[in-house]
Amino acid sequence: MIRALRVARRSAMKARTQAVNQLKALIVIAPDVLREHIRGLHRMELIRTVTRWRPGAEPDTLTTVTKLAMQSLAHRYLQLDVEISELDRQLQRLVTRAAPELMAVKGLGAETVAALLVAVGDNPGRLRSESAFAHLCGVAPIPASSGKTSRHRLNRGGDRQDNHALYMITVSRMAWEPRTRAYVARRTAEGKTKTEIIRCLKRHIAREVYGLLVPRTPAQPPARDDLTTAA
């Protein structure tokens, strides 16, 4: 159910972005009399202004036809906005029912949790370890050591939507969570770049999320939750 809603939401989001981009493109070629009134307006101000226009029942000039075209795009944007809001509401309901523990974690929203749930699928038991989940999300570093140099390279595999979900969680926590901010400060002092630190944090968050997504059996050890293991 969550997968189906995400397909519809992703399509509506893409169409809404396309509508507003086309609306802004029409401003460039609009007659000066129109462009003077809407130039510099923010997105929602532009949408509200254009929807109030009255091009007439049968526009037959460049100005009125342009008004009609722009108004059509503005109404389409608002309709898609309502559609996305309803899909978000339904997604929130289903995700909360499917993974209440994840929704209770700060920094995790319905869309992010939905992406992670879709990655795990209907059979979470197939992921035998948090390492397997990290590989699935493309956040498990790949060994690339040579001689006396010990290093890891970026993993470009895995599900990119889940990788992006973990990235959004990471940057959110870097902004407000004290423990994560302290970790960033420590790793920065050690000479790590911001990109390297984000990769380490994504790996740690994958471990934390796995513990909430996949029920543990007695044979499975609990997932570690200290940031020192993220390196």
User: Could you read off the pLDDT of 117-151 as tens digits, one per residue?
Assistant: 888 876 676 777 888 888 888 888 777 777 776 66
138 vs 19: CA distance, rounded Å: 33
pTM higher than 0.85: no
Is-contact 51 75, C-beta < 8 A?
yes
In angstroms, the CA 212 to CA 101 distance is: 7
Q: Count Cα atoms within 13 angstroms, Cβ side, for 66.
A: 16
Provide the pLDDT for residue 96: 92
Element (H, E) at 152: strand 152-153
pLDDT band at 192 (very low <50, low <70, confident <90, very high): confident
